[in-house]
Structure 1
Amino acid sequence: MILVTGASGNLGTAVIANLLTKMSANKIAGLYRNVSKAQAFADKGIGILIGDYAHKASLAEALQGVEKLLLISSHGNDTLVEHKNMIDAAKEVGVRHIYYTSGALNKSVGQSQLGPLVDSYITTENYIIESGMTFTIFQNGLYSETIPFFVGEHVPETGIYLPTGNGKASFATRADMAEAIANVLAGEGHENKIYVTTALPSYSFADIARILSEISQKPVSYTSPDPSEYEMQLRKSGLDEGSIWYLLLLTAIIKNDEYEISASDLEQLLGRKPTDLRQYLKETFLS
């Protein structure tokens, strides 16, 4: 059986949908914290397992009979504790192969701005590798779907106002990442591999403004303000504190070129070219 954690989230839902095209539903299960979020999947015949990252005993019970575990990275307050609980429980009950969604990072960056995301990516990767379990790690780039979160829905009219300087980042659609992950989960021969699952090339937000200008046939500006000024504007707009924190963190990481990637395995895992960023921008902002 294949178990997908974070099964009610966007990526988990998309991975399960792809797995359903490759195997019968009774070979797939999702991990949920409560039954209420799982009904739609239960109706499709997906196994429903209840467990909480914070409670290792519940995870060990849920993992009984699981051969392949997809651990979708958590971004809670105790990320590393939660990840360790899942990894330790998987090892104790004899899960054959653990798969983990990490982050695609530029290894040549001098001083990192990742902050709490270190535990979501690097520390968890190392813990899995050191556990001795058979593993596959997906180092995902940023979702293309985060771009509207960064720039707003009316960017062709408003322009881009974002403190990312000239920093570049790689993007891929969630659908492409989910399809690639499902292809690996449904297949064999990926033992102890680390795959970079993002699309190339990397783009700055000045590049994105240029592409939007070209496809909209009207100028789209790009302004990179001081982060403190940006934070002040976010607060004036009434954005919630969680979103402000996340935007400030991600824009600092992008400005530092930590998501600038020059090599990728996504096309290989998909067996086709990933969705082009220009195509995504056109479909998202101009259709």
Structure 2
Amino acid sequence: MILVTGATGQFGSKAVEHLLKNGVEPSTIAVLVRNSNKAKDLEKGIDVRQGDYTDHSSMVKAFTGVDKLLLVSSNNREAIENRTQHHKNAINAAREAGVNHIVYTSFVRKPGFEDSAIADFQKSHLETEKHLAESGLDYTILQNGIYAEMIMAFLGDKVAETKSILFPAGKGKARWVLREELAEAAAHVLITEGHENKIYTLTNSEAVDFEFVAQNISEILGKEIEYKSPSINEFNAILQKAKVPEMYIDMLTMWGTALKQQVMDKEDDTLASFLKREPTSVRQYLENYFRK
């Protein structure tokens, strides 16, 4: 039995889809959800189990009879420490329930990450990885690259109207990856052998910056899109004037700074080998986004 956590979320649901596409019988797939009403769209035959990262007994019950567990990292929007504890709780419950192998969705990491703008976020994943490695269970850690879908989340939906991109990422490059292709890779690890106690970096074959993004959007739309990378103070002032909530300003500043520091451009060809093809390029992603 394979169990996928967060199966009603964007990553977990795609992982389940790819398990089914690869011929895994629905009756051998279970999912952990907080609200079973949200799992109505899952394929008939999949075992829907209710549980919560903060409720140990519910997770032990849900994980009973499971051989492999895909632990999709928590998307808790509160303190980062909450996410870390959620992961530890799930690992502890899995061990008690007799799970044999946990596949954990972590995040790409490079040497020197401790000094980056996303250091706390990275340390949370590192702490989870350490707890998992010390659990006594077989594990596979997927250090996923930054989602390509975040490009437009950072830019907003008015790029075509304003003809400009305002983001404090400088010339920093990253190896953006489609969330769905990372979920496809996770499904591959779950149904193939030889991944015990391995750590994989899953990133794209190309590293691009926001100049590249602006040039490609310009070509796709047939209009000149200008990329501006202001200082953090300028960026904050512009967003504050536009009455953007402080929480979002902090988030955009953090990720823009991290991209400028180039902490997400780690080169690795593992994802391509798992997919048996080159990952979708940023150019392809942008074409699909603007021409949909």
TM over 0.5: yes
Root-mean-square deviation (CA, aligned residues, Å) is 1.8
The equivalent of 1:261 in structure 2 is: 266
> Quick check: 1:209 aligned with 2:210?
no
The equivalent of 2:56 in structure 1 is: 56
User: For 1:175 and 1:82, how far apart are their aligned partners in 2?
Assistant: 23
The equivalent of 1:186 in structure 2 is: 191
User: For 2:100 and 2:112, how far apart are their aligned partners in 1?
Assistant: 33
Could you tell me which runs of 5 or more consecutive residues in structure 1 were left unpaired when the two chains were aligned. none
Give the residue type in structure 1 aligned to 2:218. S
Moved over 4 A (4+): none
User: For 1:28 and 1:110, how far apart are their aligned partners in 2?
Assistant: 38
**How many residues in Structure 1 have an aligned counterpart in Structure 2?**
286
> Quick check: 1:39 aligned with 2:20?
no
Three-state SS of the structure 2 residue aligned to 1:199 is coil
**CA positional deviation for 1:248:** 2.3
Give the residue type in structure 1 aligned to 2:12. G
CA deviation string 1:167-202 (max 9, x = no partner): 111101112111111111122221111111121211
Give the residue type in structure 2 aligned to 1:13. S
Give the residue type in structure 2 aligned to 1:259. M
Contact conserved, 1:154 with 1:285, CA < 8 A, in 2? no
Instruction: Within 5 Å, give how 1:7-46 maps onto structure 2.
Output: 7-21=7-21, 22-41=23-42, 44-46=44-46
Three-state SS of the structure 2 residue aligned to 1:136 is strand
**CA positional deviation for 1:239:** 3.8
**CA positional deviation for 1:81:** 1.0
The equivalent of 2:86 in structure 1 is: 82
Instruction: Within 5 Å, give how 1:195-234 maps onto structure 2.
Output: 195-234=200-239
Identity of matched residues, %: 41
Give the residue type in structure 1 aligned to 2:259. I
User: For 1:40 and 1:243, how far apart are their aligned partners in 2?
Assistant: 31
> Quick check: 1:116 aligned with 2:120?
yes
The equivalent of 2:155 in structure 1 is: 151
TM-score (norm. length: structure 1): 0.93
> Quick check: 1:130 aligned with 2:134?
yes
Give the residue type in structure 2 aligned to 1:4. V
User: For 2:241 and 2:5, how far apart are their aligned partners in 1?
Assistant: 36
The equivalent of 2:6 in structure 1 is: 6
Three-state SS of the structure 1 residue aligned to 2:41 is helix
Contact conserved, 2:16 with 2:187, CA < 8 A, in 1? yes
**CA positional deviation for 1:251:** 1.4
Contact conserved, 2:70 with 2:103, CA < 8 A, in 1? yes
Give the residue type in structure 1 aligned to 2:151. I
Three-state SS of the structure 1 residue aligned to 2:134 is helix
User: For 1:66 and 1:243, how far apart are their aligned partners in 2?
Assistant: 38
Could you tell me which runs of 5 or more consecutive residues in structure 2 were left unpaired when the two chains were aligned. none
TM-score (norm. length: structure 2): 0.91
